[in-house]
Amino acid sequence: MKIGLDFDGVIANCGKLKSDVAKMLFDLDIPPHKFKREIVIGEGHLTAEQYLNLQMTIYETREYGFLMEPVAGVLECVPKLLALGHTILVVTSRGEAALKIAKEWSAEQGLTIDFVGLGYGVSKAEACRGLDVYIDDDLDKLKPLVGIVPHRYLFSWGYNMHVANGNIAKRMVSWDEFHNTIKSL
């Protein structure tokens, strides 16, 4: 099968990275599950300007970008899926500079996977055409894939639990669950 993966929140643990970097930049203790724009700004943990600064710092500077940690299970499950003969394509909203960091970091982690970097605000629909499966931690990125990618999954985190996934995507709580689900398709 052709499997598409989002990068931040599926391969790299961006909630933890944002929490760690918020501590370094602003000396604030904000738990990872608060790191969704509407929550972290809406609840007043960060101003819009601080959040923008945080995002630029983690996505576009090597110093902070490489502090990413892998999502639990990804380093074991991706090689297993490849060994089963599936193909894997990362489709991310990262732009050029941020994409370069993601690719280098992935290679360092031993992940040999191809990337498409679309840039912020671009629909993933065209890049995902032809995929059988796609998983993202952002429901808004999955909505345009209805009718394009047959098997759509939302990687569940504390920061997206308030979102109603409906028929758009099924929730997956872990890489183990996602891996087992693909085997059962």
Q: What is the DSSP string of 77-112?
A: HHHHHHHTT-EEEEEE---HHHHHHHHHHHHHTT--
Query: How near is the Cβ of 18 to Mg ion at its closest, in Å?
Result: 12
Query: How near is the Cβ of 89 to Mg ion at its closest, in Å?
Result: 15
Q: Which residue's CB is nearer to Mg ion, number 9 or number 117?
A: 9
Binding Mg ion by CB under 5 A: which of 64, 81, 111, 137?
A: 137
- Per CB under 5 A, the segment of 9-17, 35-43, 45-53, 177-185 that binds Mg ion is 9-17
How far CA 165 is from CA of 15, 90, 113, 140, 153, in Å, comes to: 20, 22, 28, 10, 9
Query: How near is the Cβ of 85 to Mg ion at its closest, in Å?
Result: 26
SS3 state at 55: helix
Q: Which residue's CB is nearer to Mg ion, number 29 or number 93?
A: 93
Q: Which residue's CB is nearer to Mg ion, number 59 or number 64?
A: 59
Q: Are 8 and 105 in contact (CB under 8 A)?
A: no
Contacts of 7 (CB under 8 A, 6+ apart): 90, 92, 94, 102, 115
Query: How near is the Cβ of 139 to Mg ion at its closest, in Å?
Result: 10
Residues that bind Mg ion (CB under 5 A): 6, 8-9, 137
